[in-house]
A = this chain, B = another copy of it.
Amino acid sequence: MKLVTMAHGGGGTRMQELLSQTVFPLLGGSATDAEDAAVLDLEAGRVAFTTDSFVVRPLFFPGGDIGKLAVCGTVNDLAMRGAKPLYLSLGLIIEEGLPFETLEQALTSVAEWAGRAGVRVVAGDTKVVERGKADGLFINTAGVGVVPEGRDVSITGARKGDALIINGYIGDHGVAVMTEREGFRFESGVVSDCAPLNVLTEAMFAAGKVGAMRDATRGGLGAVLKEMAAASGAAIEIEEGSLPIRDGVRAVCELLGFDPLYIANEGKLVASVPSGDENAVLEAMRSVEEGRDSVTIGRVIDGKPGEVVMVTKLGSRRLIRMPSGEQLPRIC
């Protein structure tokens, strides 16, 4: 089995070999693309720019892997600002001894999902650290996109009366990674929801106004709602009964004492939409694969800015807090 060695990060022939025989062929580039920076012709508009590092453990899990995550996570951060994602950079930190096969699988996944999301990997970097100084593979992606004229979407735009819409089931990603990692005996059957959301967001923008929008990753839906309420200076009320949660996620959470509200997603967004546009936006979302299960879960209400309240199935009102620690580390 061929393994990555320290020499593959050294800037010499071994690194050229890694790039020209493994990285470029899989990502669709060539050795002559080896400039240190890409020069891009962008269409007119403001430019969105973001970054995320991915340290998920294990590297492969039901419904995804670190490569797919690294593409979708950054594509989604761009899409959440109203941008059309266009270009990605890829920074690899590899632990000495990683099988080439593992690296190739991750890069194949990067290429596949970049293609599906309509983005190109145009810049990259490879570092190798000694055995025991990393954990197999870490991937950083940064992304560049263009925000079409007239779009202004951010976490601050939730206004009183807006409907809060989510595009489907919560908690799938965190539960899928955790059950894979812990090697649970029982089969939860839960698969990560990891997906690029830029087709969905374009459908939403075409259908109506979107005030605030954010993907519900680390910290889950609960953290995102708290962030949105705080950043928008608004109060939010959601209905427990309206939250889409799969039986498998519910079962794992009940068994282990987790709250699905705080479990990470990698293909879910929450959007605040003026009530006049609610139905049109919902309909547009449901017409797209990533939005098939879209549903309104609550409203922006009159209340204490920053407060998020959940009306439980029993009719009581539960104050939603920011999670304080980490329920499930390294899910992205």
A residues sitting closer than 8 Å to B (CB atoms) are 6-7, 9-16, 32, 34-42, 46-55, 77-78, 80-81, 83, 87, 89-93, 122-125, 127-130, 132-135, 138, 140, 142-145, 147, 154-156, 214-215, 217-220, 223, 227, 231, 262, 264, 322-327, 329-330, 332
Contact = CB atoms under 8 A, between A and B. Distances in A.
Do most interface residues of chain A lie in helix, strand or loop, or is the interface mixed? mixed
A92 B53 contact: yes
Count of identical protomers in the assembly: 2
A32 B217 CA distance: 19
Nearest to A262: B12
Given A16-B322, A323-B11, A326-B9, A53 B135 contact: no
A46 to B, nearest CB: 5
A93 B38 CA distance: 25
Contacts of A156: 32
Given A10-B326, A93-B53, A123-B49, A39 B138 contact: no
A134 B140 CA distance: 14
A39 B46 contact: yes
Contact of A49 (B87, B132, B133, B325): B87
A12 B49 contact: no
A42 B144 CA distance: 12
24 contacts: A10-B219, A10-B329, A11-B264, A11-B323, A12-B219, A12-B223, A36-B77, A36-B80, A36-B214, A37-B49, A37-B80, A41-B46, A47-B144, A49-B87, A49-B122, A49-B123, A51-B142, A52-B125, A53-B125, A53-B127, A93-B138, A127-B330, A132-B132, A140-B142
Given A11-B264, A49-B87, 17 more contacts: A7-B324, A7-B326, A11-B217, A15-B219, A36-B155, A37-B48, A37-B145, A38-B50, A39-B47, A39-B83, A40-B49, A50-B89, A50-B123, A53-B127, A53-B140, A55-B127, A140-B142
B11 A326 contact: yes
A71 B55 CA distance: 22
A4 to B, nearest CB: 12
Contacts of A49: 37-40, 87, 89, 122-123, 142, 144
